């Protein structure tokens, strides 16, 4: 069976950004899926998947998530959400191992785009990929993981 799908995942507590890239015809599909919807997708397409790439932000060595200007409450909330997202990413990698799908966690890509906080905008993503359907930040981040693979 031809294993040609590359799947990129931007983990999130609510909806994970998912990109499915078919190298042969350069077809890109983007989704926002819950954890269990992702499990169903991976199980269904298991035999077609060459590799899953997960954005592994926990690989960045950062000692804290304090924002001196925002205060303790905001810093605590940021740290809690960041930790939850890290755990979702770890569980996705564990899910792939369970399903026996090749998987790797990679550090987040450099934020060098014109969007807020250096994130890629929809317009920039369209220019890069030609993908014209609606996107959100999670979908675009997942798409960057697989585009040009």
The H or E element spanning position 141 is helix 137-146
Q: How far is CA 25 from CA 4, 28, 133, 148, in A?
A: 10, 9, 18, 12
What is the structure's pLDDT at 26? Answer: 86
Q: Distance between CA 18 and CA 76 in Å, rounded? A: 28
Q: Where are the domains of the chain?
A: 5-146
- Residue pair 40/99 in contact by the 8 Å Cβ criterion: no
pTM of the predicted structure, to 2 decimals: 0.84
4 secondary structure, DSSP code: -
Question: Domain 5-146 belongs to what topology?
Answer: Nucleotidyltransferase; domain 5 (3.30.420)
What is the structure's pLDDT at 114? Answer: 79
- Residue pair 17/138 in contact by the 8 Å Cβ criterion: yes
For each of the chain's 149 residues, which pLDDT tens digit applies? 568 999 999 999 899 999 999 988 889 999 999 999 999 999 999 999 999 999 998 888 764 555 566 677 766 666 666 667 788 999 999 999 999 999 999 998 777 787 787 888 899 999 889 888 989 999 999 999 998 66
């Amino acid at each position: 069976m031809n294993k040609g799908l590359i799947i990129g995942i931007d983990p999130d507590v609510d909806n994970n950004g998912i990109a499915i890239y078919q190298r042969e015809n350069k077809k890109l599909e983007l989704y926002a899926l819950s954890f269990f919807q992702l499990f169903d997708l991976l199980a269904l397409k298991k035999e077609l998947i060459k590799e899953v790439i997960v954005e592994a932000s926990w690989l960045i060595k950062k000692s804290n998530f304090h924002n001196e200007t925002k205060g303790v409450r905001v810093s605590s909330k940021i740290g809690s959400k960041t930790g939850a997202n890290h755990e979702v990413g770890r569980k996705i990698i564990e899910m792939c191992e369970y399903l026996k799908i090749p998987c790797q966690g990679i550090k987040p890509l450099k934020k060098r785009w014109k969007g807020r906080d250096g994130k890629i905008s929809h317009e920039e993503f369209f220019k890069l990929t030609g993908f014209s359907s609606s996107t959100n930040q999670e979908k675009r981040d997942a798409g960057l993981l697989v585009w040009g693979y």
